[in-house]
Amino acid sequence: MPLAKRMTAEFIGTFWLVFGGCGAAVLAAAVPGVGIGYVGVALAFGLTVLTMAFAIGHISGCHLNPAVSIGLWAGKRFPAKDLLPYIVAQVAGAILGAGVLYLIASGQAGFDINGGLASNGYGEHSPGGYSLMAGLVAEVVLTFMFLFIILGATDRRAPLGFAPIAIGLGLTLIHLIGIPVTNVSVNPARSTGPALFVGGWAIAQLWLFWLAPIVGGILAGLVYPRVAGEAKSTD
């Protein structure tokens, strides 16, 4: 598949991830009496990945996440030459998703961008007041497990056709665990989109949500082949 088509698929898929997942958090989570709450937001993030995995998995692999692309590279599943184009497409899609969400959310009377637009944060900007160290550990561990699930579910020895379900449910579980800690990133692109619109504290804390997911992704990419054995290289 030509790189331009794969980049377009990653752009659209990451747009959907941010607009769908963060949109559920911003627009639907706290509606009085009928809000979907943390569980609904967790499910929304999982559904964005599950639906896009079926829609574009055969085009681009449906990474939607720089940490996933880097983790797959570390696991010898993705060529280094495609890393930068994929990451650029993912971040651009995330920014557009956050921008469209901002346009919709700001149409409500009393909207305050300081509410975060579902940005990730620690300390006073953590939903549960968790510290920087707690956020760092959570993001590394949760991203490690996400990549481990992806690597296992897409292993050519795994049952065919079920990878999107495992990955989508895996991301749902990750959000059920991590929303109170950092609003859950495990995805630098997802964190960057909303942070650019919120500015201030969200930009100042954004470094964590690049560093920790990338570390977790690389660790999973290195560990999985040692647990599972042979890994297929695309280089």
Burial class (CB in 10 A: 0-12, 13-18, 19+), 176: middle
What confidence score (pLDDT) does residue 61 get? Answer: 95
In this structure, what are the phi and psi dihedrals at residue 108, rounded to the nearest 5 degrees? -90, 135
- pLDDT by residue for the chain (235 residues), tens digit each? 899 999 999 999 999 999 999 999 999 987 777 789 999 999 999 999 999 999 999 999 999 999 999 999 999 999 999 999 999 999 999 999 999 999 999 998 888 888 779 999 999 999 999 999 999 999 999 999 999 999 999 999 998 889 999 999 999 999 999 999 999 999 999 999 999 999 999 999 999 999 999 999 999 999 999 999 864 544 4
What confidence score (pLDDT) does residue 112 get? Answer: 86
Closest among 110, 132, 108, 105 to 121, alpha carbons compared: 132
Burial class (CB in 10 A: 0-12, 13-18, 19+), 201: middle
All structural domains of the chain, each given as residue ranges with its CATH number in brackets, are: 3-228 (1.20.1080.10)
Q: Which residues contact 230 (CB under 8 A, 6 or more apart)?
A: none
Q: Is the dihedral of CA 17, 38, 70, 200 positive or negative?
A: positive
What confidence score (pLDDT) does residue 235 get? Answer: 45
Q: For the whole model, what pTM was predicted?
A: 0.92
CA distance 184 to 190: 9
Check if the beta carbon of residue 95 is closer than 8 Å to that of residue 192: yes
Tokens representing 70?
Answer: 């880097």
